[in-house]
Structure 1
Amino acid sequence: MSSEESLKKSQEQPNNNVDAAGVELKHRSTPKEGWGDAKSDRRKKVVGALKAAWPHVKLFIILVIYSMFGAVGFWLIEYPHETALVANFTEARTQLLKDMWNVSQVFTGGDWTEEMTILVERYEHTILAAYDGGIDPRGVTGGQAELQWDVAGSLFFSVTVFTTIGYGHQTPATVAGRVFCIFYAIFGIPILLLTLADIGELLARGLRYIAATVNSKLRPNMMESRKDDVPLYGIFIVVFLVMSLGALVMMQMEDWTFEQAFYFIFVTFSTIGFGDLVPRHKMYSLAASLYFLLGMALISTSFSLSQDEVGRLLKKWGDLKASCKKRVCPCCANRVGSELEVGGDDPGVSGQDKTKLVTRKTQIGLPIGIMRGDALSEDRKEDRFH
């Protein structure tokens, strides 16, 4: 091929590596093989995880919105009444001082005593009305007081209503507030129970997964159907650790001792709510509301798992008592006892069989049969204890 033909061919085929001005373009690397598929799989996994978590998150969001709705309702109803009580108490205290001065200037002797008694009794009624409205007269200074039905206090009370804790230190003082509290609890308690059941199910799955992992490593010969059973001591350890962690935090928040904080957390988790210890800092307690919900779900889950474990132990005990009454070894389903008791006058049992039964009894005793899973009979799987 001549040089002229080569030049003509090169002019006919454009060079894709340069632009119109003749500047060389950077080579764009092609995507690696499989990279797009891996990214798509990762995106699918994330979307799948979000879809799986959405029902659980949705219940929690509904509970949070319902808590805010209750806080707004109680604040609109109870806050004006509480501020009015503080104003009335402040005015009554000021008026008492003026009346006492006037009585002292006008009356003497028995008349002074009678007038002062009337003033004191009137002031006592004002104090009782303030207490009934949730106002502590000792905290009213200069017409100002720490109100319970502000936004934070109303939100804290709404949480204590549908959680059925009910510390008792804060209650509605108006008829409208009490009616609203009734309907608020009627719809709020079922929402909480659904949320606690959902959280409890997740916690139970986590505990069973941990138990299965530990048993697979430490007890590989354990039956597969029993590897995910959570032992009682494991449940108690988890509950104690969670409560102890919360108690350490509450010690710093409320300036309590460890005993007081642990006692308060147990009373809260179990929804007993005596009210003898109540958080003073409402914002801290609101921040701990998620922890309270988690603790209540954990207590409920631990009770459920404990009931299953106790029921299993009681079944074992019942099987053991029934085996003892029938003189049947629960580990091998054979008759136990002396040679006379085993064979007796039964013509179907020969002397050699009697010897085997008695020998088996001495080799595999009753306690060993309960503790050893490998000594159990394959034909009677319902008698397995492990």
Structure 2
Amino acid sequence: MLQCITSNSCVRLIQTHKSTWYFLFLVLGYILYLIFGAVVFSSVELPYEDLLRQELRTIKKQFLQDNECLSEERLEKFLEKALEASNYGVSILNNASANWNWDFTSSLFFASTVLSTTGYGHTAPLSNAGKAFCIVYSLVGIPFTLLFLTAVVQRIMVFSTRRPITYVSTRWGLSKPLVAVVHATLLAIVAASCFFIIPAAIFSSLEENWNFLESFYFCFISLSTIGLGDYVPGESVNQRFRQLYKVGITVYLLLGLVVMLVVLETFCELQQLKTLRKMFYLKKEKPQDRLAILEHDHLAFTSVSHQTNASSVKEGKCKEVSMPVLTSPGGDDPMIR
């Protein structure tokens, strides 16, 4: 009997807090996914890192043996300064000295990566004034970009998603959720073709050292706003039409970001995903529920006040009944009255 009561109470507790339990499972799943990614990246990339370190040590040792007049300390200072400049996008190589990082088109490309929060990191402000302006520019520009993208996506969604789904479902009498799923799938295929596969083929032909996988990797990293910065187009030596190329890349990134948001918003409006999201969200209080709570509180307050009044009346009656009757000490003696 006790086990039955305990099991029923546990089931009742889980049912009443179902959203909280789903949320805890979501947090646990996210943590496990992070750990899974760390394990895979570590197991795949660590051997390559060790191999590269060994190769660099061998080259450095051979260089010092070939140049005995150069001490290891001086070489370390030179490499440290060169690597520090490379972190700011400045190279000391003769074949890379022709590319400037802060001409107008390169600055326009940098501004687009800042506002879209892509941030490749291949170029960074050198001066304190530039760093201070970048802070102020980002504080104003990032919310402005979010507002701009939201307004653009909201208008595009009307013509690219909502009206076509409504037209097809009413014209051919099909189920609206089914039409929405098919439409979202087709839209994702078109977006992947126009902003991933075709641009990857173009980048692999324009960039000398990029294959198709590396170009596709750049497109995905850029349009998902990850922006690792290991692949940046237009930075190769003697790039033809470099300024026009940079402007084209800027337009591609902005248009691609808008299209990715449209695709994500289209999938978010699917009924199946709405049901899935509601499993992890807190339930909103409806106006009827709030009204019921207020009425319940009012009734409770009224009952309490009635009980208080009734108890006071009872106490008054009790006091009235128990009130002593005064009698004259002389009884019916007329002289005392």
Q: Which runs of 5+ in 2 are unaligned?
A: 1-66, 235-241, 280-337
Correspondence for 2:213: 259
Note if contact 1:216-1:227 (Cα within 8 Å) is conserved in structure 2: no
**1:185-225 Cα deviation digits (max 9, x unpaired):** 111112211221122123312222333444455xx2235x6
2:173 pairs with one of 196, 221, 236? 221
Counterpart AA for 1:259 = L
1:314 and 1:161, CA in 2 relative to 1: closer, same or farther beyond 3 A?
closer
2:256 pairs with one of 282, 291, 295? 295
1: CA distance, partners of 2:221 / 2:80:
34
User: How many percent identity over aligned positions?
Assistant: 29
Note if contact 2:116-2:142 (Cα within 8 Å) is conserved in structure 1: yes
Runs of at least 4 residues off by over 6 Å: none
Give the 3-state SS of the residue equivalent to 2:201 in structure 1.
helix
Correspondence for 1:100: none
Give the 3-state SS of the residue equivalent to 2:102 in structure 1.
coil
Correspondence for 2:233: 279
Note if contact 2:106-2:246 (Cα within 8 Å) is conserved in structure 1: no
Note if contact 1:199-1:294 (Cα within 8 Å) is conserved in structure 2: no
Correspondence for 2:31: none
Q: Which stretch of the first structure deviates more once superposed, 123-132 or 154-163?
A: 123-132
Counterpart AA for 1:299 = M
1:169 pairs with one of 97, 117, 122? 122
Correspondence for 2:292: none
1:282 and 1:260, CA in 2 relative to 1: closer, same or farther beyond 3 A?
farther
2: CA distance, partners of 1:279 / 1:315:
38
**Structure 2 length-normalised TM:** 0.51
1:306 and 1:175, CA in 2 relative to 1: closer, same or farther beyond 3 A?
same
Note if contact 1:264-1:277 (Cα within 8 Å) is conserved in structure 2: yes
1: CA distance, partners of 2:277 / 2:71:
75
2:92 pairs with one of 112, 137, 154? 137
How many pairs align?
A: 202
**1:260-315 Cα deviation digits (max 9, x unpaired):** 22221121111111112111245313223233222111212222222232434549
The structure with higher relative contact order (CA 8 Å, sep 6+) is 2
Correspondence for 1:269: 223
Counterpart AA for 1:135 = V
Give the 3-state SS of the residue equivalent to 2:269 in structure 1.
helix
Give the 3-state SS of the residue equivalent to 1:137 in structure 2.
coil
**1:150-203 Cα deviation digits (max 9, x unpaired):** 222111111111111101111112221111111111111122112211221233
Note if contact 2:87-2:123 (Cα within 8 Å) is conserved in structure 1: no
**Structure 1 length-normalised TM:** 0.45
Correspondence for 2:189: 237
Counterpart AA for 1:311 = L
Correspondence for 2:12: none
Correspondence for 1:356: none
**Deviation of the 1:230 alpha carbon:** 5.2
Q: CA RMSD in A?
A: 3.4
Counterpart AA for 1:150 = D
Give the 3-state SS of the residue equivalent to 1:229 in structure 2.
helix
Q: Which runs of 5+ in 1 are unaligned?
A: 1-103, 105-111, 318-386
